[in-house]
Amino acid sequence: MIACLAKFNGRIAIFGDRLQSLLLLLVRLYWGWQFFIAGKGKLSDLSRPTQYFSSLGIPAPHLSAVVVSGTECFGGLLLLLGLGSRFFSAIFILEMIVAYVTSEQDALRAIFSDSDKFVTATPFLFLFASAIIFIFGPGRYSLDAVISKKSASRR
């Protein structure tokens, strides 16, 4: 019985492993696009994010708006391609933590007392997707994987 369960578990694990890169591709494509759209929107009228950042007490609000908007726009495009995936996902993680600390403080305080409030806050899914890419990497369907494969073959 145990041997049968172990064999079944092994087959499921192989199937799951084969789906990993596809899932990472879908996460990168969807959330890379979402970051791109968010950044592009901010870049199209920097006065809005500048005013918003100023109202939150973020230092150098215009510079912060330019940096965040540019990072989201161009980093989102690169995430779509799977280029610099872990680098940009780390930056996005930091941005989303700052978003929680500055604009979603009630949701952040409710992380353990009212988890629904925490997970329905705007930064959550952006943070979650970024953490997945940072932890698991971009997958084999990415430019990062192509570059890594080529550099490994040269060694």
For the stretch 18-54, pLDDT in tens is 999 999 999 999 999 999 999 999 999 999 999 999 9
Task: Determine what percent of the chain is predicted with pLDDT higher than 70.
Answer: 99
82's CB contacts (< 8 A; 6+ apart) are: 25, 28, 138, 139, 141, 142, 143, 144, 145
For the stretch 81-107, pLDDT in tens is 999 999 999 999 999 999 999 999 999
Q: Note the helical H segments in the chain.
A: 2-44, 47-55, 61-81, 85-103, 105-109, 115-119, 123-136, 143-154
Q: What is the mean pLDDT of residues 106-113?
A: 95
**Reported confidence tier of residue 2, pLDDT bands at 50, 70, 90:** confident
Task: Determine what percent of the chain is predicted with pLDDT higher than 90.
Answer: 86
Contacts 24+ apart (CB under 8 A), 46-53: none
| DSSP one-letter code for 141 | S
**Reported confidence tier of residue 151, pLDDT bands at 50, 70, 90:** confident
**Reported confidence tier of residue 68, pLDDT bands at 50, 70, 90:** very high
105's CB contacts (< 8 A; 6+ apart) are: none
pTM higher than 0.85 for the full model? Answer: yes
